[in-house]
A and B are shown apart, each in its own frame.
Chain A
Amino acid sequence: MKALLWRLASLAVTAGFVAIWQIVADFKLVSPVFLPGPDRAWAALVHGMVASNLATKLAGTIEHMLEGWLVASIAGVVLGALIGSSRFMRAYVGPTLEFLRPLPASAVIPLAIAIFGFSPAMALGVIAFGAIWPMLLSTVHGFAAVEPRLYEVARALHLSRWQVIAKIALPSALPDILAGLRLGLTVALILAVVCEMIAGLDGLGQWVLLAARYFRSPDLFAGVILLGALGFVGALALDIAERRLLVWRAPTNSP
């Protein structure tokens, strides 16, 4: 009941925001060339989906984002597990990671273009490079922070190395890994759009950029709305996954 009220309240805030937007547009407080009302943006969205290729662009962006995110996630978790579970690896590789990590991923785009050209491979490389950091660092942290006592329990039970990873280290690091996955998804979406803008790949980035160049602001807003929705759905999906996987973190009756 209470949860329902909260949800209604948050919906009301969204509706209020859209209403203000509509009023601002109707009274032409901002030139309609730059700011279409939500009605026009919605019409452009529907039109783009039905009559134009907006759906293809959306699919393109989803594909770029998910591919890059998946590659980054797998590589980040595997590398993070290797580095995090060994003190020596942490000491050896740590400084290099600290140098690479703060590099803005957009700064490696020219490099990626030089290597891969204006291709989907370039986008994949850039997105994966940018999105791997939250995954890698949170996994390293998760594996390094496993309770040492649990390793002693594992020794006492003669668990194999593989069993220790699967039954103790990985579940223990899971909350950190999920946080990394969530951050990584956001980064992947941002970089997917940037790559589409720069390399002209099929996607919402390109759609938004072209709409802006031709002063088709309703189309521009349609693209932005879709990007927002994409990020929202992605976060929601991870939220649900997290709640499923981390039931044990929400005790129903703590002592």
Chain B
Amino acid sequence: MNKGSCRAGEALIRFSKVDLSFSDRKILEAIDLEIMRGEIVCLVGPSGCGKTTALRIATGLLAPTGGGVAFDGAPILGPRRDVAIVFQDYGKALLPWRTAAGNVSLALEAVGTPRAERAARIDALLAKVGLPHHADKYPSQMSGGMQQRLQIARCLAQEPAALMMDEPFGALDAMTRQELQDEMLQIVRTTGATVLFVTHDLEEAIYVGDRVIGLLPHPGRIGIELKIDLPRPRDQIATREDPEFLRLRRELYEFIKSAER
């Protein structure tokens, strides 16, 4: 059931011996991680373990102090257009003075899509994230879930090979979060994008991931790696009741508990 099987064994994103320190404080130490094409890898860990920092390094927004990250074989020196970032604080990542259509348009303007083609692309993207009738709304007129959908639509406008998601659903209520998990998985399945997904919600990590990496804090380093072989498409009820899901959940909870100690 592994999606990346067509080009299995080929890493799209490769962390090699990534270190990061601020002055004398070590944030990350010797992170080695390979993310295969089409794979969904989740990063979890107690707060302060550097999971968001690791994601920011993978996006190129932050440079490591040691080691490096390669994307498709080339070292990452800065943000790439084909790597889209979904920020947790959607309210800050959207342009409040632009409508939903205008916010998606920003990404199209950035890649130089001709004006005549934009409207159709925007309509298609908004429909894809379930916002087909909200093109003229401003972010301030939308709920949190809708705003996050909008941010995802803008990211998809970049036609990304990889999505970097930093606790994307952390600020949403439980129902909306589950809806968006399923929609995200659906979108990823159709686009075949590779996903690095940071979350503090262990069940969410198991539910969406092909693999879950648990980080240990002070300094942040990889402590556990779980392969998630649950059948896809995942289902909010069936998957979460699967004995394998429960076993993985127990293992991950025990890891986090020991990591926090």
Residues on A facing B (Cβ under 8 Å) = 147, 149-150, 152-153, 155-159, 163, 167-168, 171-172, 174, 246-249, 251-255
Contacts and interface: CB of A to CB of B under 8 A. Distances in A.
Nearest to A168: B95
B72 interface: no
B142 A150 contact: no
A152 B79 CA distance: 9
Interface stretch (B81-89, B212-220, B235-243, B249-257): B81-89
A172 B158 contact: no
Given A149-B89, A153-B106, A157-B110, 17 more contacts: A149-B93, A150-B92, A152-B87, A155-B61, A155-B79, A157-B106, A158-B79, A159-B110, A163-B109, A171-B95, A172-B95, A246-B97, A248-B96, A248-B97, A251-B138, A251-B141, A254-B141
A248 B79 contact: no
25 contacts: A149-B93, A150-B92, A150-B93, A150-B95, A152-B61, A152-B85, A152-B93, A153-B93, A153-B106, A155-B61, A156-B61, A156-B85, A157-B111, A158-B81, A163-B110, A167-B95, A168-B95, A247-B138, A248-B96, A248-B99, A249-B96, A251-B138, A251-B140, A253-B141, A255-B141
Interface of B: 59, 61, 78-79, 81, 83-85, 87, 89, 92-93, 95-99, 106-107, 109-111, 138, 140-144, 158
B65 to A, nearest CB: 20
Nearest to B142: A255
A167 B97 CA distance: 10
A104 to B, nearest CB: 36
A76 to B, nearest CB: 21
A149 B107 contact: no
A172 B141 CA distance: 18
Nearest to A246: B97
Main secondary structure of the interface of A (DSSP, over half): helix
B106 A156 contact: no
B157 to A, nearest CB: 9
> Chain B CB within 10 Å — which of A156, A163, A247, A249 has the most?
A156
A29 B138 CA distance: 57
Contacts of A149: 87, 89, 92-93
Contact of B106 (A167, A174, A248): A167
Nearest to A149: B92
A121 B141 CA distance: 49
B78 to A, nearest CB: 7
Contacts of B85: 152-153, 156
B180 to A, nearest CB: 16
Contacts of B140: 248-249, 251, 254
A190 B159 CA distance: 55
A95 to B, nearest CB: 29
A159 B79 CA distance: 11
A247 B59 CA distance: 34
Nearest to A158: B81
Contacts of A254: 140-141
Nearest to B61: A152
Contacts of A150: 92-93, 95
A147 B92 contact: yes
Contact of A156 (B84, B92, B95, B98): B84
Nearest to A171: B97
B81 A157 contact: yes
A107 B142 CA distance: 51
A155 B138 CA distance: 23
Nearest to B87: A149
Contacts of A155: 61, 78-79
Contacts of A152: 61, 85, 87, 93
A159 to B, nearest CB: 6
A152 B141 CA distance: 24
A168 B79 CA distance: 18
Given A157-B106, A253-B141, A248 B92 contact: no
Nearest to B56: A152
A249 B140 CA distance: 8
> Chain A CB within 10 Å — which of B81, B95, B98, B111 has the most?
B95
